[in-house]
Amino acid sequence: MTALSVNLNAVAMLRNRRDLPWPSVTGLARVVLEAGADGITVHPRPDERHIRKTDVGELVALIRDEFPKAEFNIEGYPSEDFLALVETAKPDQVTFVPDSPEQSTSDHGWDVDAHRDVLEPAIARMKAAGIRVSLFVDEDADMPARAKAVGADRVELYTGPYGALGGTAEGRKHLEKLAATARAAHEAGLGVNAGHDLTLANLPDFMAIVPHVDEASIGHGITSDALLYGFAEAARKYRKALNPGS
């Protein structure tokens, strides 16, 4: 089974357009978890333009009190402030992404060797706290072994280039590279996550071709589809797309 982790950044961004408490990040987390989502993902940025530090604490309490089997994944750049937040929250997983503060969204994976001095101590610190560590990586079959060498437990495949091209010939080339990267991660003993611009339209080909996917983190696509179907039904549809035989 491939787990569905619903990214709530877009929900928080919509809330933050006004000085109002709704839409509720924790309320919609409850909706998708009740509908069968396996976990929640958030990416708190330094300027809190979507997820706030207070959201993190409220989600921790929600999952602990109401959904103890659900997984909580926090994404971010391993700055001191971010690491301290993660240590306080104690999620199941932290995903390190190489974002600069001004980026609107993640758009590339780590060059692990070039950032080894940043990643190694941060990974060791998270693992000492009992938190699984995933590194955001591009479609590069050489990268999983490097992620393993710095202590990562998983890699998250950056699927944005494939998501933008869907079922085109160029999209197929990206799928083949993603599949090779997933196989390399599996051979290195790493778990495989995936995320970015995955939709109900492009997930079938992705799941048919890319092996060993443990978890997919989906935010923009599922939020867009929630406008049509509602969040509960969108979560059910995405979980089915990730596990078509179930």
CA distance 13 to 50: 4
Q: 25-34 vs 53-66: helix axis angle to the nearest 10? A: 30
Asked if 139 is an active-site residue, the reply is no
Helix, strand, or coil (residue 139):
coil
Active-site choice (71, 139, 156, 196): 196
Asked if 50 is an active-site residue, the reply is no
Cβ-contact 9, 74 below 8 angstroms: no
Closest CA to 37 of 230, 226, 237: 237
CA distance 196 to 216: 9
Active-site choice (43, 139, 156, 215): 43
Helix, strand, or coil (residue 123):
helix
Active-site choice (75, 139, 156, 215): 75
Residue type for position 52: R
CA distance 178 to 202: 14
Closest CA to 38 of 210, 209, 243: 243
Q: Please list the residues that pair with 42 across neighbouring strands.
A: 74
Helix, strand, or coil (residue 58):
helix
Active site residues: 43, 75, 196
